[in-house]
Amino acid sequence: MLAEIITIGDELLLGQTVDTNSAWMGGQLAAHGIRVHRITSISDEADAILVALDEALSRVDFVLVTGGLGPTRDDITKETLAAYFGTELVMNDAVLETITNWFSGRGFDMLEANRHQAMLPEACEVLINPRGTAMGMWFEREVDQKVVVSMPGVPYEMKGLMLEEVFPRVDRHWKLPTRYHRTLLTQGVGESYLSELVLEWEERLESRGVSIAYLPAPGQVRVRLSAVDEDAKAAKNRVEVEVAAFLKMAGDYVVSELDESLGSAVVHSLAKQHLTLSTAESCTGGAIAASITSVPGSSKVFKGSVVAYDNHVKETMLGVSSVVLLEHGAVSEAVVCQMALGVKERMGTDYAVATSGVAGPDGGTKEKPVGTVWIALAGPKGVESKCLSLGNNRARNIERSVREALAWIIRTAK
Amino acid sequence: MLAEIITIGDELLLGQTVDTNSAWMGGQLAAHGIRVHRITSISDEADAILVALDEALSRVDFVLVTGGLGPTRDDITKETLAAYFGTELVMNDAVLETITNWFSGRGFDMLEANRHQAMLPEACEVLINPRGTAMGMWFEREVDQKVVVSMPGVPYEMKGLMLEEVFPRVDRHWKLPTRYHRTLLTQGVGESYLSELVLEWEERLESRGVSIAYLPAPGQVRVRLSAVDEDAKAAKNRVEVEVAAFLKMAGDYVVSELDESLGSAVVHSLAKQHLTLSTAESCTGGAIAASITSVPGSSKVFKGSVVAYDNHVKETMLGVSSVVLLEHGAVSEAVVCQMALGVKERMGTDYAVATSGVAGPDGGTKEKPVGTVWIALAGPKGVESKCLSLGNNRARNIERSVREALAWIIRTAK
């Protein structure tokens, strides 16, 4: 089954707000076996809404609309939908009570504009939103039973409505085949090289009822395999067989078999083995630590980091030798190894990773151009190091170095 | 002038990737006086692309397309555009050389699929992309001079092409009135409170030919004032008069008068005063250091950080007293002050900021619920501390804490 998403709001077109709702809805719908055919973002104008709605309903059976339900004058979605479905706004007493309670529970004054939010189209099914004052609406078009759902644009209100109100109604309204998918996280290989590596297998995938998608980001590629079937078990089996085949061919590049970030993969991999980690960061400036500590539960694994931006800090806090710093410079194999060993010893961890490089855009020399990054990994068996030659984009150099470091930890500590 | 954006990729519809490109392009186009009329996301299918292209060109003069230019088989944008504009793919020798150099510079093998990326439509103007192997394309429709631009979906490649190749051509192709804008970064005040504070002034803005936009994010609001005029100087004057008026009313909340990140504002403010900074981070886990070191030139200001996730690290690396830790717990005023003073002394900086809190989602107690975050700032005049009571979303708690800490540094060190 196909659906379309329409997001309403001038702030989306002006670039003041990134539309994160559509991706979330797309993922949730895909998991329910509903494929999003198109996402359209339009302004808060009645004409734009009517045209987009008409176009979407001509193509698909299910249209999800977010935004334009606030109490201010520029929010006109509700009125426009009532007009489209030829119905009137009427006061909904149950909703009025919900909104009144919402305000009194927070000690805020209720304005006339908020009272108006309880005026809802007569011909729709109201989806109660306990998280805010704009309700959801479920419209069914009589002639063909096509459905339009309207929800507020605030992400957490929309998500609550989708999970609690929309999907139960979807399951009752349509009988859908199951979609099963698995995502593998690879690192250290480009999209095109990876695709070439599994070429013959990939060419036969479609005939076996499995589809593949490559999702590249600097230094990593997520590979997603999926199948759709009336029989949930059949879909799962088809995908799992191909996951096993992929792992046989390209398993060396796979750092996680879950759909998770590299930071999360490090935490889960080390936690399973009761191993601990510390970091000593120069050019990555705390970004390795930040990507690990963004993961809930990371304190089980991660002890801490010394961000040694200044050479003096490398000496006093990590025990890097001043002679070695002078002889080799901060961006060198000798220094980065001492950093890793220094933090490992001081924080008493099983593993420690260190970085020192020229992130750019300035600071490069002929011998050590911008993009030169040394990484060291200290573990139970000693310390190893490698040198990356990246480009001259600072943000990207930091990102790539973080990914290299995280993937190296996963590969070594297993 | 109106434009539309078309983003191509199954990953957008499946929710595997959030479309951040459209918001960035929308903002940049708005700054150039071009309003985005609609954003459409579609799948990597020739039919979908052709239909969306036709529809967009029927409505506006300028269509920007991203995505679907990779080397793998599911990338068909280039072939589809060639068909749409009735032209052939031909080998572009200059591009082939660029791509070959791209690979040899990185020591990677070049594949046949990458060679094919140098096959480009004969009737387009090629936009050289030095950041990757997929080139941009500028098509002009003969009959009406409407323009279609195609760019890779990788954000930093797209941004480079937009700034270096697309906008210069836009300026030559269309004669657009000048748009002048200034963005002020405020922190510590909500959008609605800020808007209420300047209400009367804001109501008169439009009649003075200046528009205002509030761009909120957790803990900060960017305020953008802009004016459009044939005469660049007139646009600038109109905006600058209102910037001065805004600063008079709400200047206490303004932490930067440039359109920059808080991390960048910290670096520039301290660098101007020849002051240095270090951080000691527990719940922010390196995110303060990472946001500072993401700024080019931050090494002039920033000496380093101790990410003390583990209590033992707080003692050994920062000199926090074990008695104080035992008596008050890690999330306490006493500990966070010792952390700030400890790192300031050890790294010899003018200022030091420290954090200790319960980021969540677990780990809260009745006395210290999830979202409790202590921040301390040590400077020439001693140490101060404050306690935040945030929510239970880990990522948001880290983000809010980082912003509070950075803004506090700027306000204190001036």
* Chain-chain contact of B307 with A307 (C-beta, under 8 angstroms): yes
Check if B2 contacts A (Cβ < 8 Å). no
Report angle CA A80, A86, A88 to the nearest 5 degrees. 75
Q: Residue B71: its chain A contacts at CB < 8 A?
A: 191-192, 195
Shared-domain flag, residues A86 and A211? no
Which of residues B157, B173, B189 is at a domain's end? Answer: B173
Share of chain B above pLDDT 90, in %: 75
Query: What is the chain B residue with the closest CA to A193?
Result: B111
Cis peptide before A361 (omega within 30 of 0): yes
- pLDDT of residue B325 exceeding 70, the answer is yes
Check if B64 contacts A (Cβ < 8 Å). no
- pLDDT of residue A45 exceeding 70, the answer is yes
Res A220: pLDDT: 86
Shared-domain flag, residues B211 and B134? no
Integer Cα distance of A60 and A49 in angstroms: 16
* Chain-chain contact of A26 with B20 (C-beta, under 8 angstroms): no
What CATH number does the domain containing A315 carry?
Answer: 3.90.950.20
Least confident of A31-40, B101-110, B158-167: B101-110
Cis peptide before B130 (omega within 30 of 0): no
* Beta bridge pairs of residue A149: A64, A138
More confident of the two residues A351 and B111 = A351
Shared-domain flag, residues B225 and B238? yes
With b meaning 16 or more CB within 10 Å and e meaning fewer, what string describes A279-310?
bbbbbbbbbbbbbbbbbeebbebbbbbbbbbb
* Chain-chain contact of B10 with A290 (C-beta, under 8 angstroms): no
What CATH number does the domain containing A79 carry?
Answer: 3.40.980.10
Integer Cα distance of A209 and A227 in angstroms: 6
- pLDDT of residue A273 exceeding 80, the answer is yes
Q: Which of B16, B107, B296 sits opposite A394 (nearest CB)?
A: B296
- pLDDT of residue B73 exceeding 80, the answer is no
Shared-domain flag, residues A25 and A161? yes
Shared-domain flag, residues A146 and A229? no
Integer Cα distance of B126 and B12 in angstroms: 26
Check if B11 contacts A (Cβ < 8 Å). yes
* Chain-chain contact of A313 with B286 (C-beta, under 8 angstroms): no
- pLDDT of residue A58 exceeding 80, the answer is yes
Q: How far is B179 from chain A (nearest CA, A)?
A: 14
Integer Cα distance of A88 and B44 in angstroms: 40
Q: Using one digit for the tens of pLDDT, what is the confidence trace for B212-232? A: 877 767 678 888 898 988 898
Phi then psi for residue A114, to 5 deg, are -75, -35
Least confident of A19-33, A295-309, A349-363: A19-33
Share of chain A above pLDDT 70, in %: 99
Stated as kind and residue range, the H or E segment containing A347 is: helix A333-347
Which of residues B228, B256, B284 is at a domain's end? Answer: B256
Q: Using one digit for the tens of pLDDT, what is the confidence trace for B363-382? A: 999 999 999 999 999 999 99
Say what the alpha-carbon torsion angle B156, B160, B163, B167 is, to the nearest 10 degrees.
Answer: -110
Q: Residue B281: its chain A contacts at CB < 8 A?
A: 286, 289
Cα torsion angle, A285, A286, A292, A294, sign = negative
Tally of structural domains, chain A:
3
Least confident of A9-18, A101-110, A266-275, B324-333: A101-110
* B7 Cβ neighbours under 8 A, 6+ residues apart: B19, B21, B22, B39, B40, B41, B42, B65, B66, B67, B153
Q: Using one digit for the tens of pLDDT, what is the confidence trace for A113-126? A: 788 899 999 999 99
Query: What is the chain B residue with the closest CA to A27?
Result: B15
Shared-domain flag, residues B80 and B164? yes
pTM: 0.80
- pLDDT of residue A267 exceeding 80, the answer is yes
Check if B280 contacts A (Cβ < 8 Å). no
Shared-domain flag, residues A286 and A233? no
Q: Which domain holds residue A375?
A: 262-412
Check if B203 contacts A (Cβ < 8 Å). no
Q: Using one digit for the tens of pLDDT, what is the confidence trace for A199-258? A: 999 989 989 999 888 877 777 888 989 898 888 899 999 999 999 999 999 999 999 999
Query: What is the chain A residue with the closest CA to B31?
Result: A14
Integer Cα distance of A142 and A340 in angstroms: 68
Interface TM-score (ipTM) > 0.90: no
Q: Using one digit for the tens of pLDDT, what is the confidence trace for A131-162? A: 888 999 999 999 999 999 999 998 888 998 99
Integer Cα distance of B267 and B258 in angstroms: 13
Q: Using one digit for the tens of pLDDT, what is the confidence trace for A361-388? A: 999 999 999 999 999 999 999 999 999 9
Q: Using one digit for the tens of pLDDT, what is the confidence trace for A283-332? A: 999 999 999 999 999 999 999 999 999 999 999 999 999 999 999 999 99
Query: What is the chain A residue with the closest CA to B299?
Result: A309
Check if A108 contacts B (Cβ < 8 Å). no
Q: Using one digit for the tens of pLDDT, what is the confidence trace for B158-208? A: 999 999 999 999 989 998 888 888 999 999 887 777 888 898 998 899 899
Shared-domain flag, residues B369 and B404? yes
Shared-domain flag, residues A82 and A137? yes
Q: Using one digit for the tens of pLDDT, what is the confidence trace for B39-64? A: 999 999 999 999 999 999 999 999 99
Which of residues A256, A271, A304 is at a domain's end? Answer: A256
Share of chain B above pLDDT 70, in %: 100
Q: Using one digit for the tens of pLDDT, what is the confidence trace for B130-149? A: 888 999 999 999 999 999 99
CB neighbours of residue B258 within 10 Å? 12
Average pLDDT for chain B: 93
More confident of the two residues B196 and B250 = B250
Res A73: pLDDT: 67
Q: Which of A14, A20, A193 sits opposite B30 (nearest CB)?
A: A14
Average pLDDT for chain A: 93
